[in-house]
Amino acid sequence: MDDTLIDAALEDCRDKMRKAVAHTQAEFSGVRTGRASPALVEKLKVDYYGTDVPLQQLASFSVPEARLLVISPFDKSSIKAVEKAIQNSDLGINPNNDGQVIRLGFPPLTEERRKEMVKLVRHKAEEGRVAVRNVRRAVRHDLEALEKDGDISSDELERAEKDLERITHEFVVEIDRVLQHKEQELLEV
């Protein structure tokens, strides 16, 4: 019985840490590299008939060239609202509207801007690591409560804590790996 309590706690821990890593990856995808990517704009909120709607629900995206993103609104009457949302975003790109589609041309990043972006993704990676450590702390607290209640022995608690450390290390390494990949992508000219 006590092993199942520990296993359940550790599985819950893995699940929450997976979500923290996935969130960190999603944060990274919103950081602009020199390439065009739908991830940069798909979460933008567009005022569509008085309601804020994510752009991915209003349009399809294509990347015909490395530095060009084409947005094709499903409803052509929403093209002005989409254009306005892009102009109001922090992308720093002027949309080019031909009445049917919106084209976003991404200029190459300057060296200074690349370094700023690397700092930004490092900060986001640290937030991801902190989230993973917060999950570890909560699970450790739960395991200590199980021992205090007499549901598990102190030896089992010690073994579970070692497993918890190993799991935490795996997910921190995963965040570091994703960070390294994103840094390489940002510094690539």
Residue where one domain finishes, among candidates 59, 90, 105 = 105
Residue where one domain finishes, among candidates 54, 85, 105 = 105
115 and 177 together in one domain: yes
CATH number, domain at 12? 1.10.132.20
26 and 114 together in one domain: yes
Per residue, the 3-state secondary structure of 26-93, as one string, reads HHHHCCCCCCCCHHHCCCCEEEECCEEEEHHHCEEEEEEECCEEEEEECCHHHHHHHHHHHHHCCCCC
* Structural domains of the chain, count: 2
Distances from the Cα of 31 to the Cαs of 16, 130, 188, in angstroms? 23, 20, 14
139 and 175 together in one domain: yes
180 and 120 together in one domain: yes
70 and 24 together in one domain: no
Question: Is pLDDT at 1 greater than 60 in this prediction?
Answer: no
152 and 117 together in one domain: yes
The domain containing residue 59 runs over which residues? Answer: 38-105
24 and 92 together in one domain: no
pLDDT-above-70 percentage for the chain: 97
**pLDDT, mean over the chain:** 88
98 and 115 together in one domain: no
Could you tell me if 88 and 104 are in contact, meaning their C-beta atoms sit under 8 angstroms apart?
no
119 and 72 together in one domain: no
91 and 120 together in one domain: no
Q: Which residue has the higher pLDDT, 44 or 122?
A: 122
Minimal CA–CA distance to 14: which of 157, 171, 183?
171
- Given this model, what pLDDT does residue 113 score? 80
Minimal CA–CA distance to 37: which of 16, 56, 10?
56
pLDDT bracket for residue 12 (50, 70, 90) = very high
pTM equals: 0.72
Residue where one domain finishes, among candidates 66, 85, 105 = 105
- Given this model, what pLDDT does residue 189 score? 63
Q: Mean pLDDT across the stretch 31-50?
A: 81
118 and 94 together in one domain: no
84 and 118 together in one domain: no
SS3 category, 72: strand
CATH number, domain at 87? 3.30.1360.40
